[in-house]
């Protein structure tokens, strides 16, 4: 065991949007931050081959439920934002307020800091345009969606978003990690945290595996941001046994149709959508990268369709699932879709079918299910308080796991705003204790 007695002010575990935001804001305020990240920090190349070890390794980045539904995340610096489609839905401000957490100021700050806007028409290929037009013709409230994308750097006929945009157009949490490092933070990649070291009810450090050895690092503040599956595992190992139960993961399917002569090509996925808020259903266009579409098609034995791309109009249906299930101690996910969850997927698929038929599609079929937003495993009001503090002093959680309930929309804006709010809270608490120390010294 290698002990690392350090002068870090904080250790952040995980570098997705939750961890990267806290690390960046603390570092910008002069705090010494250590970031421990399980995945690599190799350069972004926008390559499918490079994405495989980050996002498609069974038991690590892809875990199956007992219904063989894959839950996908990315294990790399920047977390799942290296894979995400960069759609920026507004955070559920009112829902969080009901739990005593107000992120309205931080959500506004985020909008000023990041390139959040819809894509211009010229960056939407014929598929997304056809989806939008057909849905509007039918009277759906379909509109362009906000994206974390700087459209001045985005390229037409490109689909590298999900492989890690190499052109600097798509925002991902690595940007915040880099900013943190430019301001003195240290990143140790390929460091998998096992547990938090607790002494007399206080978190004092973490134990992690790195380079075949077990190491310990210490700091007065520990922030666990290992994501909806990773954080509850670390907390359980640290004595918070109730973590990792009763969660959501927003299951989704794709419905495809063939439109002869559509000429759809590569495009940013999820550029337009329809939100059925009451039903908990979202429909969007979804130009999957070709290799991923092949994989989804082969899964449902659509061999001929797997090689048809330009004539295909794909629509994604994502639903708000009911809370349930448990994360097992080895990181697998036990969760069954309920009858209501499946009915929502069917209802969404029926809307998609109408839109496809209206656009002139034939040969309509659906993919198998997948999920990509695990959260609610360490809920606010249950295992963390409104400042995201656990029952142990100095131990905080900041990622999708703290979401107090299911709401069925992509969560990254909310996680960034929560990260900003936590950093402010930690900085304010520090300045109070520094002031108290100065008063005590003066007396
Ligand atoms: C394909 C796909 C598309 C998506 N599209 C969108 C979208 O368009 N819009 C949107 O808002 N959201 C989208 N999401 C969801 C979004 O990416 C996630 O909800 C978000 O990244 C979760 O942030 P997080 O900080 O909770 O966790 P993560 O981003 O998963 O980050 C957790 C980090 O912790 C690290 N880690 C895990 N365990 C350990 C450990 N033991 N020790 C050290 N490090 C550890 C991981 O490697 C990872 O870097 C998408 C997700 C996927 C998979």
pLDDT tens track of the chain, all 443 residues?
666 657 899 999 999 999 999 999 999 999 999 999 999 999 998 889 999 999 999 999 999 999 899 999 999 999 999 999 999 999 999 999 999 999 999 999 999 999 999 999 999 999 999 999 999 999 999 999 999 999 999 998 898 999 999 999 999 999 999 999 999 999 999 999 999 999 999 999 999 999 999 999 999 999 999 999 999 999 999 999 999 999 999 999 999 999 999 988 888 999 999 999 999 999 999 998 888 888 899 989 998 888 888 899 999 999 999 999 999 999 999 999 999 999 999 999 999 999 999 999 999 999 999 999 999 999 999 999 999 999 999 999 999 999 999 999 999 999 999 999 999 999 998 777 777 777 777 76
Question: Are 314 and 246 spatial neighbours (Cβ–Cβ below 8 Å)?
Answer: no
Q: Return d(Cα 246, Cα 338) in angstroms, integer.
A: 13
Q: Are strands 251-258 and 362-366 parallel, antiparallel or unpaired?
A: antiparallel
Integer CA distances (angstroms), 412 to 77, 171, 274, 364, in order = 16, 11, 18, 31
Counting Cβ atoms within 10 Å, is residue 239 exposed (0-12), middle (13-18) or buried (19+)? middle
Question: Are 388 and 358 spatial neighbours (Cβ–Cβ below 8 Å)?
Answer: no
State which residues form the domain around 179.
Answer: 2-439
- Closest residue to atom 19 of ligand 1, CA basis: 373
- Closest residue to atom 50 of ligand 1, CA basis: 84
- Calculate how far, in angstroms, residue 261's C-alpha sits from the geometric centre of ligand 1: 37
How many domains does the chain fold into? 1
Residue 41 belongs to domain with CATH number: 3.50.50.60
- Calculate how far, in angstroms, residue 61's C-alpha sits from the geometric centre of ligand 1: 10
Cα–Cα nearest to 80, from 340, 355, 410 = 410
**Phi then psi for 259, rounded to 5 degrees?**
-125, 105
What end-to-end distance do the CA atoms of the chain give, in Å? 42
Integer CA distances (angstroms), 16 to 220, 315, 415, in order = 22, 27, 9
Q: Return d(Cα 338, Cα 318) in angstroms, integer.
A: 15
Q: Which residues line ligand 1 (CB under 6 A)?
A: 13-19, 36-39, 72-73, 75, 79-81, 83-87, 192-193, 225-228, 230, 234, 270, 372-373, 399-400, 410-412, 415
Query: What pLDDT, on the 0 to 100 scale, is given for residue 157?
Result: 87
Report the nearest atom of ligand 1 relative to the CA of 233.
41
Query: What pLDDT, on the 0 to 100 scale, is given for residue 436?
Result: 73
- Calculate how far, in angstroms, residue 418's C-alpha sits from the geometric centre of ligand 1: 14
């Amino acid at each position: 065991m290698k002990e690392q007695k350090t002068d870090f002010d904080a250790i952040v575990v995980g570098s997705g949007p939750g961890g990267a935001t806290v690390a960046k804001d603390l570092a910008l305020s002069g705090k010494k931050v250590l970031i421990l990240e399980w995945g690599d920090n190799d350069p972004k190349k926008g390559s499918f081959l490079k994405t495989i070890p980050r996002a498609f390794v069974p038991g690590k980045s892809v875990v199956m439920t007992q219904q063989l539904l894959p839950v996908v995340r990315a294990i790399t610096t920047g977390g799942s934002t290296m894979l995400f489609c960069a759609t920026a839905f507004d955070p559920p401000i009112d829902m969080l307020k009901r739990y005593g957490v107000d992120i309205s100021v931080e959500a506004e700050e985020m909008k000023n800091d990041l390139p959040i806007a819809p894509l211009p028409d010229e960056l939407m290929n014929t598929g997304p345009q056809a989806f939008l037009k057909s849905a509007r013709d039918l009277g759906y409230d379909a509109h362009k969606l906000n994206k974390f994308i700087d459209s001045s750097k985005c390229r037409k006929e490109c689909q590298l978003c999900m492989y890690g945009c190499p052109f600097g157009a798509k925002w991902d949490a690595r940007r915040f990690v880099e900013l943190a490092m430019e301001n003195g933070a240290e990143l140790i990649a390929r460091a998998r945290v096992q547990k938090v070291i607790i002494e007399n009810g206080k978190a004092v450090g973490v134990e992690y595996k790195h380079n075949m050895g077990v190491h310990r690092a210490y700091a007065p503040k520990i922030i666990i941001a290992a994501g909806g599956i990773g954080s509850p595992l670390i907390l359980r190992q640290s004595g918070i046994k109730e973590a990792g139960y009763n969660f959501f993961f927003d299951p989704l399917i794709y419905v495809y149709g063939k439109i002869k002569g559509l000429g759809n090509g590569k495009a940013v996925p999820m550029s337009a959508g329809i939100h059925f808020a009451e039903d908990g259903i979202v429909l969007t266009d979804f130009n999957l990268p070709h290799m991923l579409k092949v994989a989804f098609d082969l899964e449902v034995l659509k061999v001929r369709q797997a090689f048809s791309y330009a004539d295909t109009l794909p629509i994604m249906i994502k639903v708000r699932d009911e809370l349930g299930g448990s994360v097992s101690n080895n990181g697998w996910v036990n969760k069954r879709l309920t009858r209501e969850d499946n009915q929502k997927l069917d209802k969404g698929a029926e809307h998609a079918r109408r839109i496809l038929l209206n656009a002139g599609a034939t040969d309509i079929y659906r993919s198998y299910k997948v999920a990509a937003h695990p959260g609610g495993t360490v809920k606010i009001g249950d295992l963390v308080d409104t400042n995201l503090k656990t029952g142990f002093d100095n131990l905080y959680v900041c990622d999708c796991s703290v979401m107090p309930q299911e709401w069925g929309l992509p969560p990254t804006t909310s996680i960034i705003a929560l990260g900003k709010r936590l950093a402010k809270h930690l900085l304010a608490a520090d300045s109070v204790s520094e002031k108290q120390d100065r008063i005590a010294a003066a007396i």
